[in-house]
Amino acid sequence: MSSNLSPIDTAKFVAAKRAVDFVEDGMRVGLGTGSTAAWMVRCLGERVREEGLRIAGVPTSTRTAELARQVGIRVISLDEARWLDLTIDGADEFDMDLNLIKGGGGAHLQEKIVATASDQMIVITDPSKQVEHLGSFPLPVEVIPFGWQTSKALIEETLASLEVLGQTSALRMNGEAPFVTDEGNHIIDLYLQRIGNPRQLSMVLNQIPGVVENGLFIDICDKVVIGHQDGRVEVIDINEGTHDEGLVEFAETENLFSDI
């Protein structure tokens, strides 16, 4: 293992390294957003440069698009691709049914659109993201700026009748100003502690006027690749019902990701 990588970065790296093995020549690949997905984009770029892998990447945010171009991945829009072979992304939480909470980076709207336009979604993560019940991580809800306080009040009123432990919400901030997504929207984070019925919650939230999308990914993820700090990697395939484990090794001096 490279001494330049922290234990958590090593876990993210080996998960990303294993996940890009599923990418084949000629594929159209959805590229996720966030710190873990950034490792994956770098690993894909390495394959493009060293193996001549020919792929087209559909990024889920402007920052992912910039990184993909930087490492040599051909970037196209989802409208150009129309349909994708595979999307690889991170997650903030996942349960054993491979339902997810995403959106810690504020890109869950594009991430969900891209993931659902793919034949398969692979999530790369570390063991800390696995939970028995979703809800420990704040659930992001993207809302349009117009009337966001009304939308927030309606969300809180709705939560009172649903299977959640907490009902606190807060507008996500970026310093002293509201956080703004790539689509120009705001995000309301819900502090729920435990979500009893994620499917119901997702459907109900998206019916509230002003809500664009929420960070619950239900029945979208096909595989989870879990990296460990010792180089071990687990691959859980929900469709095949398999749980495999292997080891990813890389050179002692390998440090391709020092700028992430």
Q: Is residue 61 part of a domain?
A: yes
Report yes or no on whether pTM surpasses 0.75.
Answer: yes
Residue 145 sits in the same domain as residue 46: no
Can you give the pLDDT at residue 1? Answer: 38
Residue 28 sits in the same domain as residue 102: yes
Residue 160 sits in the same domain as residue 41: no
Can you give the pLDDT at residue 5? Answer: 87
Q: Is residue 149 part of a domain?
A: yes
Q: Is 259 annotated as a binding residue?
A: no
Q: Is residue 253 part of a domain?
A: no
Q: Is 33 annotated as a binding residue?
A: yes
Residue 80 sits in the same domain as residue 192: no
Q: Is 158 annotated as a binding residue?
A: no
Side-chain half-sphere exposure of 47, counting CA atoms within 13 A: 22
Length of the chain: 260
Question: Rounded to the nearest 10 degrees, what angle do helices 35-51 and 7-19 cross at?
Answer: 50
Residue 12 sits in the same domain as residue 33: yes
Q: Is residue 260 part of a domain?
A: no
Residue 66 sits in the same domain as residue 156: no
* Active site residues per annotation: 111
Own/partner pairs for 241-248, CB < 8 Å, 24+ apart? 246/18, 248/14, 248/17, 248/18
Residue 190 sits in the same domain as residue 161: yes
Q: Per-residue pLDDT tens for 66-120?
A: 999 999 999 999 999 999 999 999 999 999 999 999 999 999 999 999 999 999 9
Can you give the pLDDT at residue 92? Answer: 97
**Any idea what the CATH number is for the domain that residue 178 is in?**
3.30.70.260
Q: Is residue 258 part of a domain?
A: no
| Domain housing 189 | 139-214
Q: Is 91 annotated as a binding residue?
A: yes
Residue 16 sits in the same domain as residue 121: yes
pLDDT (tens digit, 0 to 9) for every residue of the chain, 260 residues total? Answer: 345 889 999 999 999 999 999 999 999 999 999 999 999 999 999 999 999 999 999 999 999 999 999 999 999 999 999 999 999 999 999 999 999 999 999 999 999 999 999 999 999 999 999 999 999 999 999 999 999 999 999 999 999 999 999 999 999 999 999 999 999 999 999 999 999 999 999 999 999 999 999 999 999 999 999 999 999 999 999 999 999 999 998 764 454 544 44
The DSSP secondary structure of 24-76, one letter per residue, reads -TT-EEEE--SHHHHHHHHHHHHHHHHH----EEEESSHHHHHHHHHTT-EE-
Q: Residue 88 and residue 56: Cα distance in Å, rounded?
A: 13
8 Å CB contact between 119 and 170: no
Which amino acid, residue 53? L
Q: Is 129 annotated as a binding residue?
A: yes
223: helix, strand or coil? strand
**Any idea what the CATH number is for the domain that residue 28 is in?**
3.40.50.1360
Longest Cα–Cα distance of the chain, Å, equals 55
8 Å CB contact between 162 and 216: no
Tokens for 205, please give them.
């939230």
Q: Is residue 178 part of a domain?
A: yes
Can you give the pLDDT at residue 105? Answer: 95
